Structure 1
């Protein structure tokens, strides 16, 4: 009887010891797993930042070369209303000494055949500057048959997301394009053949 009690006590003690040891190993494995998740997250964050910085440098070089396209995925009116648009057909572009601005709204009629208008003109008074935070400002005046406007492009430091504010000189209208700024050679925009 005593032998059975001792064996039973030993079994309970061994069982508790194994369970405690197993729990301790699980806790250590979870800590190790969390550290590896944090390390993976940090690695992904660094890769994303490096890619964004590369895109920023490409956009900055495109502005400097004078061959760039701001592919707008949203328009902001002078009253602050935001309109989501297709970046393939809504853009501000400077290519080979000619500036283009195109608006296209699906499902609407417009002079360019895409529900909007395509304007072109010659850029003058081009100025490029960088502030103390590394943000790039690009200003130009554009004169064309149907477009006389001042355009200010703002490229934030760290990625190629930019905005272009178009201020029409003759009518006082203002429209802001916001989206990705890329070199003209890398752009996938579709320009209407009917421009003014």
Structure 2
């Protein structure tokens, strides 16, 4: 399994009424080395000389296609906070859109031996999925009932994204920071004295 950040290429096609959907992206260099090594490992016991070409081009470009009608091999699409994206969210995806992909490489034997890359999950890093309670994601920091100043909330959210904290970790850090600032302001913090 490979998890990496990349961006969608111009030939990506996610039209809701198309029979064949297409995700086009590039593998980062560090992922390419691992993917090549895994391909050699997956094909090392293949007895036939007829092996398909790798599912990527010389620059690491990959075109992953799946059925838009049957749902076969359809990846899971989520927003930046891991909430599911609906069709309206998919329509907002464009070329150059930053994404975090979860991909696996699997071996196939027919008609010729080879491997293929399957995209399991697409996390769109600049979208928030709407939910019934409003515009923000259900996992949004905006739903936290803490009396924190807006700038502190934004700092905590930025750090959570940058350092990939879990919800509990950034919430705990937000509370500890607020308590520390309040104790310092009230003169209750011994270390400030």
Larger Rg: 1
TM-score (norm 2): 0.26
The answer to which structure has the higher strand fraction is 1
TM-score (norm 1): 0.26
